[in-house]
Structure 1
Amino acid sequence: MNEYKVKGLTCVNCTRELQEEINKLPSGETASLSYNTGKLRLESTVDMDRVNKILSSDGAYIEHDHAHDEGHHHEHHTGVNWMVLLSISAFFYVAAFITEYWINEYVAIGFFLAATILSGYQTFLKGLKNLLKFKFNIETLMTVALIGALSIGEWKEGALVAILFGINEYLEGLGMQKARKSMEKLLEIAPKEATILENGEEKIVKISSLKVNQVVLVKAGEKIPSDGIVVDGKSSVNEAAITGESMPVEKAIDEHVFGGSINNEGVLKIKITKAYEDSSLAKILHLVEEAQDTKTPTELFINKFAKYYTPFIMVISFLVMIFPPLFLNGNWGDWFYQGLAVLIVGCPCALVLSSPIAIVSGITKNARNGILIKGGVFLEQLGKVTTFAFDKTGTLTKGEPYVEKLVDYDPAFLQIAASIEKTSSHPIAKAVLSKAEGVHFLEPEEISAVSGTGIIAKFNGITYFLGNEAHIHHIALPSQVLKDLKTFKDEGMTIVILANETNILGIMGISDQVRAESQSVISQLHSSGVNKTIMLTGDHEMTAKKVAKSVGLTTYFASLLPEEKVSKIKELTKNEKVAMIGDGINDAPALATADIGIAMGKGTDSAIETADIVLMQDHLGKLPSAIRSAKKVNKIIKLNITLALGLKLIALLLTIPGLLTLWIAILSDMGATILVTLISLTVLYEKRGHESRI
């Protein structure tokens, strides 16, 4: 399927109608045209001449590829000219008022007509074409209303309506253009070129030509072209483009780096591990672009409603024109004028615009913040979640064991334990070595592992046993040791014991460290209206209880197999809107089962592919920000719909006492459009101080 950038799309409704026309072409059934992104996708077999003709009927056109390559110049080409025309029209309108009172009425009419034609000729041309096809949209309604107004001598109001409608159309396009530009600015973080090293020489190549295992040179201030591993150099790297984190991350040899991140100082040599199109950044940008095209249930309902709204208003307009004169002795001229005003109220633009700008703004804001939301539908659903289910290991905890408590019955306990563990790569061994930092290690004379229980080692002719309780079955445990073991177990710790052939030297309690931000995040979720926070873990009861209590969860379920997590999610979703949060790998089934799957994992492929929402950081700190923005978007959409329909309802009610005028009708729609646009754009400008700074 081919993709094209389309410029000159004037409104949501017009874009939908253009798509419907393209869908009628041979092989065009699957074509899609998005007002949000300004992109057209269609099969290569579709006749492009006919596509161009359809687009040009509404003043739209396909942008050539070279425009993309020259710095993303996406300004609306007719935008400046259109503003000039509107300015001239406004000048003529003022001139008409002056000449009407000081010179001649007929000269004034000429100025009014000139103002009407300059600002309304595009609407006229489209409307007349639609009228001949019996296609009734906003251009058709405006054309009929303007012709009607001029036919009864309403020169002033006809001109004013044409000018205001032109301004309204321009502002409508400007609002979405602002949201699009914000998105395009985000997409511009992708580097364009890379410096590769071949046979000791530097060579600049396009990013698309990069291959796996090539070595690239990245100087201070330059963007890293694709995912890779540092093979030479040391520097701090700004990963904000990927994770949303502002603090730089130190990188040295053998450490992984993301494409799109910026080398702050020094020079790095990086071996490319992924071609750019497979990199984390490319996947993120692709998904963000796709996310704009998804329609939320609210949008789908509004679009469907708009199809029936305009014909309904036309019927109302006709009744307003004929009912009062026929049955209430009304004046035909007055009520014909009222009916024309009602026609203008039939414009559904502000209503259709109530959702997309807010959705695109919400997706863009979260992407900037390192939160990848794969579609407007998921953003909308996130704002409705009432229950959050968390995996434990790697989500609420770091997934890295550490020594929480230690009891030594012999001063040599820590030294001997660390000397034994230094030969092991087990996570618990790393925890012990971390605890024994700075301790002088002994060299074992003999060492061997016993599967499932621990390690046996010999130092200075003495045999030592390091492991769990089963590993030291040869010793009768003293009462104090039994008491300490019970305390450690009650607190949900994993036990590591060191003994020789006759005595216990000490005990360590190993735990999975709770993330620093977990308690704060859970507290913020409860404050934001979330009813339940639940932990689903395969760990045993005491460990689960300890973690749940320390972070403030509502409840927890322990000793769950992966399929039992899925069953628990299914049970919860019967009565609640549930989001499941995990690492995107072992929690994939539960993530897929929940209403919303949220993965975290520093941009790993599995996280990006599995979940509906991805926290690109390696912590939960940004989750409250995502929920706040989702709730704000939902509130704004509801407010926008209320404003769009409310202002139109007020305008329609003015027909009852016969007070509705053409300019009030157009102002009701214009006012709604301006308010809807400005309110939607506030999503982009939420104060950063509200975001979690973990």
Structure 2
Amino acid sequence: MDEYKLQGLSCSNCAREMEEEINKLENGEGSRILYNSSKLVLNKGVDMQKVEKILSADGAALVKEHGDEHGHDHSHEHTNSSTMKILLGMSAIIFFSAIYVDSQLDNLVPIIMYLTAAATSGYPTFIKGAKNLLKFKFNIDTLMTIALIGAFSIGEWKEGTLVAILFGVNELLEGMGMEKARKSMEELMKVAPKEAILIEGDKERVVPISSLSAGDLVLVKSGQKIPSDGIVESGKSSVNEAAITGEAMPVEKEKGEKVFGGSINNEGVLKVRISKEYKDSSLAKILHLVEEAQETKTPTEQFINRFARYYTPIIMIVSALVILVPPLLFNGDWGEWFYQGLAVLIVGCPCALILSSPIAIVSGIARNAKNGILVKGGVFLEQLGKIDTVAFDKTGTLTKGHPYVEEMAVYDQENFFRIAGSIEKSSSHPIAKAVMKKISEDSENQAFSEPEEINTISGQGVAAMIEGKSYRVGNEKSLECSVPSEVEQKIQTMKANGYTLVIVSSDTDVLGLFGITDEIREESKEIIQDLYSSGIKQAVMLTGDHDKTAEKVAQQVGLTDYYAGLLPDEKVSKVKELTSKGKVAMVGDGINDAPALATADLGIAMGKGTDSAIETADIVLMQDHLGKLPSAIKIAKRVNNIIKINISLALGLKLIALLLTIPGLLTLWIAILSDMGATILVTLISLTVMIGEKSKVSN
């Protein structure tokens, strides 16, 4: 599908109607107008002349995007905005001049001036409204055109002109509000690097990042952006990873360490071996997902859009009843109630209502993205604001994820290290690495055997055949031999100390015990308290570790509850149980906890840019800590509250305007001000999402 940048797109309801018309064209099925990002996605083979005709009928136009390598923007929203401001200014001058002339003269001059002022500010609306009337298509442009024609037909020149000017101001404000939200998102897109210095032998040349391949060597000078994900081949420097993680503090990098594309080299010179093409880099994936996230419709937005489709026809029926019922049944004055009916038509504008959600949603997604929190769509942002329970994995989430052996008990000096090392040497599990590190420290020249057979037993550990004999390395569930009382006593003592047990055993004997601990993150306790203050009612831990270790961690960080000894499928069952009682977010590392993340109402992964985390969860914390989670929840709750306030204002002001018809007090300018006032309030309130304290950062 082809993607185009749109200009002149300022009305979400109009965007929806244009999208429906384009979908009716041959090969137009599935085409989308992305109102929030001001883009059009078209199938190949669509008649472009017909598409442009549909767009131009609503004052929009398209420009083909030429790609990032050109480094410039083809959008001309600012030009349209400036033109509209000039026209509205001219219209206002003519209008107030007409009022002065009207007070001095009694002839056609002021009428002509009123018509000129109305035409200057409202001609796009009149043209679209007239076309819609011929097609019997009724939207806000149609309603405004009918109302203005009606007002002028009964001699309400002054009020009709004022309505035209105020409606123009209203549309300008609506467009400017959405454009402000779009620009906050576009600022994120600017972090993408454009060029790189490619090293070829002893030569260097500047190339666009799109031409880089995995394996290329690039030079990154001080102040330059790293072009794509890679490994430092030489050099040492501090790197600003804020574009990826939202962390302002620089991170020291040297040979062999991973770097992210889009991060900035602060000082020194780095040579980086590219590991991924830019399109597959962490930053590219983040920017793509953030851009897509703008266009996902929340349940609230879907409801508003459905409601808006019926709202305008209902208002037209109410308008007809206002015009007809009082004169026919209550001897009302036809002219007076015709005027009231025209005012009711203007109340039919659904713009403020439709605008009540998207600006707040886009602002919320953009603000979280700047904090290094990737929310994959408005629906997940809305869901995050409803969460009342957060379930955590333990290792790497509440703890640092770097376990080490704190205590050992050896019962078979000859075989303990040899068997443990033979089984664990090829494992990448953090606990296996802790075991191997301890073995290397205590027995540097330890010889290992190659297992004839090795199997992982879920929730227990690893079983292997070595030299024809069966051995196991795992927790208490892995034991198949009898356990002497002194060994049992040692097991219970280690558990009471909060250690994770790794037991090495054969079919007949326990060879020894490793007591492993994982340091609790310094920020975990404070973060849990912040979650409670942000409105979370329960913070629980789900872990496969034994009860004593889980209890120790839960007490230290202040959790509401914990569930220990859980197998992966039992974690899923526990999440299902929790979701039956409330809205649950599961926080894990995005790899081992994938089933639980998928089962929860919301999956939150701690990934620091890893592919698996980005792909698995609904929300990704791009840091390696929980420091930004309370902030993300507060932003989401704020967005949800703002949307509720906006809907109440949009409908409340219109309801007040409609109620004024009962005593016959509704006027044309009050009607347009009810919508204009709602639009201004909705826009300003939504944009406050971008304002606030910076979220807490833990390092």
Identify whether the pair has TM-score above 0.5, normalized to the shorter chain. Answer: yes
1:325 aligns with 2:327: yes
- CA deviations on 1:82-120 (whole Å, 9 max, x unpaired) are 110100000001111211223454322222111111011
Following superposition, the deviation at residue 70 of structure 1 comes to 4.4
Following superposition, the deviation at residue 159 of structure 1 comes to 0.7
C-alpha separation in 1, matches of 2:431 and 2:449 = 14
Q: Match of 1:44?
A: 44
C-alpha separation in 2, matches of 1:560 and 1:222 = 47
SS of residue in 2 equivalent to 1:45: coil
- CA deviations on 1:514-557 (whole Å, 9 max, x unpaired) are 11121112112222222222211111111111111211111111
Equivalent position amino acid for 2:37 in 1: T
C-alpha separation in 1, matches of 2:475 and 2:297 = 55
- Cα gap change, 1:107/1:396 in structure 2, threshold over 3 Å: closer, same or farther? same
1:617 to 607, 623, 628: 623
Contact residue 625 and residue 692 of structure 1 kept, 8 A: no
Alignment of 1:357-396 (within 5 A): 357-396=359-398
Alignment of 1:123-134 (within 5 A): 123-134=125-136
Q: Match of 1:596?
A: 602
Task: Out of 388-397 and 344-353, give the one that drifted further.
Answer: 388-397
Following superposition, the deviation at residue 64 of structure 1 comes to 3.1
2:679 to 668, 673, 676: 673
Equivalent position amino acid for 1:25 in 2: L
Q: Match of 2:72?
A: 71
Alignment of 1:215-614 (within 5 A): 215-402=217-404, 486-494=492-500, 510-614=516-620
Contact residue 236 and residue 264 of structure 1 kept, 8 A: yes
Equivalent position amino acid for 1:639 in 2: I
Contact residue 99 and residue 105 of structure 1 kept, 8 A: no
- CA deviations on 1:338-386 (whole Å, 9 max, x unpaired) are 1000000000000000000000111111111100011100000110111
Equivalent position amino acid for 2:538 in 1: K
C-alpha separation in 2, matches of 1:493 and 1:428 = 12
1:150 to 125, 129, 152: 152
- CA deviations on 1:169-209 (whole Å, 9 max, x unpaired) are 01000000000011011011100111100021111111111
C-alpha separation in 2, matches of 1:337 and 1:111 = 22
Q: Match of 2:644?
A: 638
Unaligned runs of 5+ in 2: 410-416, 452-460, 463-473, 504-511
Equivalent position amino acid for 1:619 in 2: H
C-alpha separation in 1, matches of 2:629 and 2:71 = 37
- Cα gap change, 1:150/1:468 in structure 2, threshold over 3 Å: closer, same or farther? closer
C-alpha separation in 2, matches of 1:483 and 1:633 = 54
- Cα gap change, 1:165/1:273 in structure 2, threshold over 3 Å: closer, same or farther? same
Q: Match of 1:20?
A: 20
Following superposition, the deviation at residue 488 of structure 1 comes to 3.5
Equivalent position amino acid for 2:250 in 1: P
Following superposition, the deviation at residue 71 of structure 1 comes to 2.7
Contact residue 149 and residue 158 of structure 1 kept, 8 A: yes
Q: Match of 1:99?
A: 101
- CA deviations on 1:2-46 (whole Å, 9 max, x unpaired) are 211111112010000000000101121211111111111121121
- Cα gap change, 1:691/1:321 in structure 2, threshold over 3 Å: closer, same or farther? farther
C-alpha separation in 1, matches of 2:432 and 2:684 = 57
- CA deviations on 1:617-636 (whole Å, 9 max, x unpaired) are 01111100110000000000
Unaligned runs of 5+ in 1: 408-416, 454-466, 498-505
Following superposition, the deviation at residue 72 of structure 1 comes to 2.6
- Cα gap change, 1:685/1:125 in structure 2, threshold over 3 Å: closer, same or farther? same
- CA deviations on 1:275-328 (whole Å, 9 max, x unpaired) are 011000010011011111110000000000000000000011111111111111
Contact residue 621 and residue 628 of structure 2 kept, 8 A: yes
1:88 to 87, 90, 94: 90
Q: Match of 2:165?
A: 163
Following superposition, the deviation at residue 157 of structure 1 comes to 0.4
Equivalent position amino acid for 2:162 in 1: L
C-alpha separation in 1, matches of 2:663 and 2:36 = 40
Task: Give aligned-pair identity as a percent.
Answer: 65
Tell me how large the CA RMSD over aligned residues is. 3.2
SS of residue in 1 equivalent to 2:346: helix
SS of residue in 1 equivalent to 2:294: helix
C-alpha separation in 2, matches of 1:62 and 1:27 = 18
Q: Match of 1:411?
A: none
C-alpha separation in 1, matches of 2:677 and 2:572 = 49
Contact residue 390 and residue 535 of structure 1 kept, 8 A: yes
Contact residue 37 and residue 289 of structure 1 kept, 8 A: yes
C-alpha separation in 1, matches of 2:118 and 2:274 = 61
Normalised by the length of structure 1, the TM-score is: 0.88
Equivalent position amino acid for 1:267 in 2: V
C-alpha separation in 2, matches of 1:131 and 1:432 = 78
SS of residue in 2 equivalent to 1:5: strand
Following superposition, the deviation at residue 74 of structure 1 comes to 3.1
Q: Match of 1:502?
A: none
C-alpha separation in 2, matches of 1:468 and 1:680 = 53
Task: Out of 252-261 and 515-524, give the one that drifted further.
Answer: 515-524
SS of residue in 1 equivalent to 2:374: strand
Q: Match of 1:413?
A: none
SS of residue in 2 equivalent to 1:253: coil
SS of residue in 1 equivalent to 2:623: coil
Following superposition, the deviation at residue 227 of structure 1 comes to 0.2
SS of residue in 2 equivalent to 1:174: helix
C-alpha separation in 1, matches of 2:443 and 2:104 = 109
1:2 aligns with 2:2: yes
C-alpha separation in 2, matches of 1:209 and 1:288 = 24
Contact residue 537 and residue 557 of structure 1 kept, 8 A: yes
- Cα gap change, 1:508/1:59 in structure 2, threshold over 3 Å: closer, same or farther? same
State how many pairs are aligned: 658
- Cα gap change, 1:148/1:213 in structure 2, threshold over 3 Å: closer, same or farther? same
- CA deviations on 1:436-469 (whole Å, 9 max, x unpaired) are 9xxxx9996876689999xxxxxxxxxxxxx999
